[in-house]
Structure 1
């Protein structure tokens, strides 16, 4: 979209470099000052942080061990209301331990900030202003989201704190400042689409500012204010960013210039998923069913190998020739069913996968 509805103007972007700057619960002094200035003018502010909970990790201060999920290769998120540890990948929950399982220490330190922590910090900094948190945890109750929208649409000064639930489709006419606390979240993703998703999310949440007569601004906290991709997005817009991103993908032989299919497998015991894929590769080599212009990458463990108690592996099939790839996939499914290891694993074939996780 090149224009906004009505007389609304696109918001102005500003990158704020927080390197070597003191942070209070993830908030810089400049962000606090700018929020205060908007509230003084009786405007509303939206603070965006795409992490639920109080803190994304709980670490022992004595030995440095981070409390992880027993069922996933992931850290457990600390929640304070009610107090518990929560895995956001498999939904496993457990109480906060009194002692570190590694060294027995009782001294734990929350690492990083989530929406709960940011909400508490803003309530302390602006005690006379209503702070409203919008995430999956605060909107579980029936009609909770509608009640929040009704409070916001009254137009009184307030601070909205939330995840991507706030980014899409909501009309906040009194919001004049959007603060993005962690603009670096997708800059170094293992997924090649990470920067694309980050750019889209930034523009979506930025679209909540200045939707009526009042002009909007977007302030982005970052440790990489000189990152060329981030600067291109802010200074030249999404079209320029997309053009550059497509050029990088062409040079790197990535979609949409090459065609992908991802064969995912999972098993309850380690090694079985990879063994199943290795047997498939051996069978393809022995039967000479693999076309010359289709290449295999793997088998390798999934980026998160253990998830919800299952061990996962994957095999990537890629080709510039889509017809050859489709023909191979048609022959592949019966072959997979005939492998002796097929009963020990679950598998799925994803053509043009949206992500590699």
Structure 2
């Protein structure tokens, strides 16, 4: 892309002529009234330079972009001058700018919004002088890392046969296709992390940087510890939303300046500027957390693959249950499939047992049923006698999903959402998990005054309490979003589990991924059936992955693997999903799901976009989408494009935080056709909002994960 021309030195007025017209990105939403690329006067700066720019009455962070300067000024236009440049920082590299440009284009966001939103927020507050002080601060990141006598690589275990074969396949792929993508299909406990570490070791030995992505913050501590132990002489930084603004800036600077050797982070880390990038690892690549759900709704996994091809570096996707999109790419040869079918130590996968709840005796009328079926309680007692640990998986936090009045049928609904408020017994609150509205539990039914209001259903709080009652003396711990709210509590609870101070661990999905619990030999899925019959076509795929991951927490110690079990309490034991799960047969499950998707014309055999709108009234939301559909249908007819625009419908939660929600699905077998429609159609939605004043906001989700 063309450079900004150098200023002319042979001039009479050097101050005036030193100023050039520069294209500068500022953070403005796609559906704002102005373009996010604005023209300013400033010194000759290369693309990628960070600057301070005036915008209205504000001073904002800007980014010099790639564009010819002679196309930026309209006749008679007066330009404002930049207020300063962040000179201490090198420009953001071309590869980073290309990644941002692609993400903005594909996910239909403005360049400025995409580029500026992925930078550390603290950069917006800094001027050149304050940035220089930070870089020069004692112990800061403005100079090269201090030399160390520590070894660059610690002692490492010998690879298993599966690991050695996987490493050989990956090395051959890199030699054949430097920017190739590999799907590491490894059963739980097969040692995928060791493969990541060996590949990282090779990249570091070549003087390159390594980017490792994990789906959730709670998975970073243990992987960070393994990376630090393995590479004690290397600078490792993390990138996730749990960092303070100052920490995030410091770690980002280390990556951008080339000082960090390893970057470990959640989805935001895919945009880390890395001048020496040599390897990208995406752990648990199937996880929905890689998809951003606010603002620019990008998929970090898909952008990681694109970045690898863009920069010519290998990308390693790891999972025991890959997403069906990645699995199909591997079947088609677009990704190299690298299988790892044996656990470390040749340990067996847990035996899957189905408990048919329709055959279990019911509790007498007026008595509370036991938390678990009799065979499951017996299996728990057996583990307690042997001094082993058990995991109870229930993906529902709180004490009970709803409070109910048996006299008048009142339920604890949320006044702001079409959802129930969840009963939390520990702090005696009714809390909406969607809008956050919370109040005290009423002493009596607010509808009829009946004092006998009862909890219905079971959450992790209630399960924890009931297990303590049914198994007196047992040491029970609970890990969910409520019990780990305070900083450091998750690490403390995990340490207690690893140290053997816990007999039974009750947890949500937080504990089913990535954790290496050596003493757990029994996992119980308490109530998984709800996902079988969801309206979302991805429900079975998510449930299968979750149960496989949960079961994988059992028997990770080779000596205990033979007696490890996964028990599933279900009302539908004959369901095909459970039958595939009993055989640990991901491939047959994936084949059946892909066949269903192909017949229904669903992803990965089609491409989707979802237009969501929130409004003060249902009529305003419906009217906005009706006008949007009219314009989209007109485009489809004019272009004779194969795109289906479905009528607007309410989502599962039709009201959240007092706003009515509606959505409209667009579907096409051709990705280019869908992208062309979105590119031409979206700018006109600004005007439609003016015609429906009740609309609060609208957003487009390309490749949505949930419908």
Q: Distance in 1 between matches of 2:357 and 2:633?
A: 53
1:165-244 → structure 2 map (5 Å cutoff): 165-212=510-557, 213-215=559-561, 216-235=564-583, 237-244=585-592
Q: Which SS does the other structure have where 1:124 is aligned?
A: helix
Q: Which SS does the other structure have where 1:64 is aligned?
A: coil
Residue 29 of structure 1, aligned match among 357, 361, 374 = 374
Instruction: Determine if the alignment matches structure 1 residue 278 to structure 2 residue 626.
Output: yes
Deviation per CA, 1:29-68: give whole Å up to 9, x if none.
1111110011101111111100101111111111222110
Cα distance, 1:282 vs. partner? Answer: 2.6
1:130-169 → structure 2 map (5 Å cutoff): 130-156=475-501, 158-169=503-514
Q: Distance in 2 between matches of 1:257 and 1:286?
A: 25
Residue 705 of structure 2, aligned match among 348, 354, 357 = 354
Between 1:99-108 and 1:209-218, the stretch displaced more is 99-108
Q: Is the Cα–Cα contact under 8 Å of residues 44 and 156 in structure 1 kept in the other structure? A: no
Equivalent residue for 1:253? 601
Cα distance, 1:297 vs. partner? Answer: 0.9
Which one has a bigger Cα radius of gyration? 2
Q: Distance in 2 between matches of 1:155 and 1:67?
A: 39
Cα distance, 1:292 vs. partner? Answer: 4.0
Between 1:49-58 and 1:267-276, the stretch displaced more is 267-276
Q: Which SS does the other structure have where 1:155 is aligned?
A: coil
1:93-108 → structure 2 map (5 Å cutoff): 93-108=438-453
Q: Which SS does the other structure have where 1:151 is aligned?
A: helix
Q: Is the Cα–Cα contact under 8 Å of residues 56 and 113 in structure 1 kept in the other structure? A: yes
Instruction: Determine if the alignment matches structure 1 residue 45 to structure 2 residue 401.
Output: no
Structure 1 residues 310 and 42: alpha-carbon distance in aligned structure 2, compared to 1, 3 A threshold: same
Instruction: Determine if the alignment matches structure 1 residue 314 to structure 2 residue 663.
Output: yes
Q: Which SS does the other structure have where 1:169 is aligned?
A: coil
Equivalent residue for 2:343? 4
Deviation per CA, 1:224-259: give whole Å up to 9, x if none.
111122212323511111110000111111111111
Cα distance, 1:157 vs. partner? Answer: 5.9
Instruction: Determine if the alignment matches structure 1 residue 305 to structure 2 residue 644.
Output: no
Q: Distance in 2 between matches of 1:128 and 1:297?
A: 57
Cα distance, 1:20 vs. partner? Answer: 4.3
- Structure with the larger strand share: 1
Cα distance, 1:105 vs. partner? Answer: 1.6
Q: TM-score, normalised by structure 1?
A: 0.95
Instruction: Determine if the alignment matches structure 1 residue 268 to structure 2 residue 616.
Output: yes
Equivalent residue for 1:109? 454
Q: Distance in 1 between matches of 2:439 and 2:556?
A: 42
Cα distance, 1:290 vs. partner? Answer: 6.3
**Structure 1 unaligned blocks of 5 or more:** none
Q: Is the Cα–Cα contact under 8 Å of residues 417 and 655 in structure 2 kept in the other structure? A: yes
Q: Which SS does the other structure have where 2:588 is aligned?
A: helix
Between 1:107-116 and 1:224-233, the stretch displaced more is 224-233
Q: Which SS does the other structure have where 1:186 is aligned?
A: helix
Residue 327 of structure 1, aligned match among 665, 676, 682 = 676
RMSD of Structure 2 on Structure 1 (CA): 1.7
Q: Distance in 1 between matches of 2:545 and 2:530?
A: 13
Deviation per CA, 1:61-102: give whole Å up to 9, x if none.
112221101111001111101111011111211111223233
1:114-125 → structure 2 map (5 Å cutoff): 114-125=459-470
Residue 17 of structure 1, aligned match among 356, 370, 388 = 356
- Structure with the larger helix share: 2
Between 1:273-282 and 1:153-162, the stretch displaced more is 153-162
Q: Which SS does the other structure have where 1:271 is aligned?
A: helix
Deviation per CA, 1:208-239: give whole Å up to 9, x if none.
10000212110111111111222123235111
Q: Is the Cα–Cα contact under 8 Å of residues 39 and 157 in structure 1 kept in the other structure? A: no
Q: Distance in 1 between matches of 2:623 and 2:639?
A: 19
Q: Distance in 2 between matches of 1:301 and 1:81?
A: 34
Cα distance, 1:156 vs. partner? Answer: 4.9
Compare relative contact order (CA 8 Å, sep 6+) and give the higher one, 1 or 2: 1
